Amino acid sequence: MKALVLASPGQISVIDKPQPEPKRGEVLVHLKSAGLNHRDQWIREGKYPGIQEGVTLGSDGAGQVIRAGSPEGEPWVGREVIINPNVGWGGNPAVQSADYKILGMPVDGTFAEYICVSVDRLADKPAHLSTAQAAALPLGGLTAFRAVFTKGELKAGEKVLISGVGGGVAQFAFQFAMAAGAEVWVTSGSQEKIDYAVKLGAKGGFNYKEEGWHKAAKKAAEGGFDLIIDSAGGNPMVQLIDTLRPAGRLVYYGATLGVPANIPLHKMFWQQIRLQGSTMGNDEEFQEMIRFVENHQLEPIMEEPLPFDSIMEAFDAMKEGRQFGKLVVLI
């Protein structure tokens, strides 16, 4: 089968790999679509912990179960599924175990024609989604769900700012917050993406590349935001903190721009501001996220899917931030 592997640091390539065989407790899934995450690009660049050469990349996939390795997998044979990318979250819902892994490094992932996964990693593909849309959902949907609801504790009517709304996780955070009845504002480096978010129901948007955008944002939100969801980190995080109202929360699940130099600790303790990290989500949240997407009939914002042979093009688009939302390949 064809598979996209990390050939050497900084080098990914499509190679021929033996088709895996399902072991006891596993099923063989014939993948039809796979979604990209920034994680895949970090791995390509060698900027991810625990990188191993030869591993098939990709955390998100949708396809059909074609064989079971043992009887518990039999009821799944023939079903259209998506795959929970968590491996070994463990028994504590608050934090993943020390053995926690994510599909696609160091465990073989979804950028391949076939994958073997444990039966308990399967979920039925939401009926309202195409296979390509479903492949966009798992990692981004899970991360956004935990950040917005479990960690962000978003309530209807609150003012929330989704930073970098064009991101694959961020567009889910945007849609989840809208569906939950919040007043949603966005930032982006692209006016086109802001305009699109406003068309979809955002109250307004700000270009984070413009000087002083955060002052305009705080004014527009009449005193500041209750919640901010961010993955950029870096020095702009200080501007984000500036736009929070007293007792506001900033939940971050990434640090694309690195570590901020001047976190305003005095202001934060005086104003009871919470800075909260979040990563992926536990298995219960994965199920809840799918139910939420089904109940609200949400569809990922994504680019036109590309053929698997054009996967490098998809990686490059992600690196340059050209996409709005998710990038998906058809296998």
Ligand X SMILES: NC(=O)c1ccc[n+]([C@@H]2O[C@H](COP(=O)([O-])OP(=O)(O)OC[C@H]3O[C@@H](n4cnc5c(N)ncnc54)[C@H](OP(=O)(O)O)[C@@H]3O)[C@@H](O)[C@H]2O)c1
The reply on whether position 159 binds ligand X by CB under 6 A is no
Write the interaction track for ligand X spanning residues 284-303; mark x where CB under 6 A is met and - where it is not: --------------------
Sole window of 24-32, 49-57, 62-70, 163-171 interacting with ligand X (rule: CB under 6 A): 163-171
Residues of span 229-248 touching ligand X by CB under 6 A: 231-232, 236
Count Cα atoms within 13 angstroms, Cβ side, for 253. 29
Q: Is 119 helix (H, G, I), strand (E, B) or coil?
A: helix
Beta-bridge partner residues of 63: 31, 81
Query: Least distance (Å) from ligand X to the CB of residue 282?
Result: 12
Question: Judged by CB under 6 A, which of 256, 271, 276, 310 binds ligand X?
Answer: 256
The reply on whether position 280 binds ligand X by CB under 6 A is yes
Please tell me the distance from the alpha carbon of residue 234 to that of residue 259, in angstroms, as a whole number: 5
**Chain centroid offset of residue 311 CA:** 18
The reply on whether position 164 binds ligand X by CB under 6 A is yes
Write the interaction track for ligand X spanning residues 27-46; mark x where CB under 6 A is met and - where it is not: ----------xxx--x----
Residue with smaller CB distance to ligand X, 248 or 281: 281
DSSP state of 319: H
Question: Judged by CB under 6 A, which of 81, 161, 165, 314 binds ligand X?
Answer: 165
Length of the chain: 331
Number of residues that bind ligand X (CB under 6 A): 30
Q: State how far the alpha carbon of 250 is from the alpha carbons of 46, 95, 240, in Å.
A: 28, 18, 8
- Answer whether 327's CB lies under 8 Å from 314's CB: yes
User: For residue 32, what are the contacts with CB-CB under 8 A and spacing of at least 6?
Assistant: 62, 63, 64, 131, 132, 135, 330, 331
Sole window of 26-34, 93-101, 189-197, 292-300 interacting with ligand X (rule: CB under 6 A): 189-197
Please tell me the distance from the alpha carbon of residue 100 to that of residue 63, in angstroms, as a whole number: 24
The reply on whether position 321 binds ligand X by CB under 6 A is yes
Question: Judged by CB under 6 A, which of 69, 85, 141, 166 binds ligand X?
Answer: 166
The reply on whether position 190 binds ligand X by CB under 6 A is yes
Residue with smaller CB distance to ligand X, 182 or 237: 237
- Answer whether 95's CB lies under 8 Å from 69's CB: no
The reply on whether position 96 binds ligand X by CB under 6 A is no
Residue with smaller CB distance to ligand X, 31 or 251: 251
Q: State how far the alpha carbon of 121 is from the alpha carbons of 15, 30, 161, 289, in Å.
A: 26, 15, 32, 14
Residue with smaller CB distance to ligand X, 64 or 207: 207
> What is the DSSP annotation of 230-244?
ES--STHHHHHHHTE
The reply on whether position 105 binds ligand X by CB under 6 A is no
Rg (CA), the chain: 20
Residues that bind ligand X in the complex, under the rule CB under 6 A: 37-39, 42, 143, 163-170, 187-190, 193, 208, 231-232, 236, 253-254, 256-257, 279-280, 318, 321
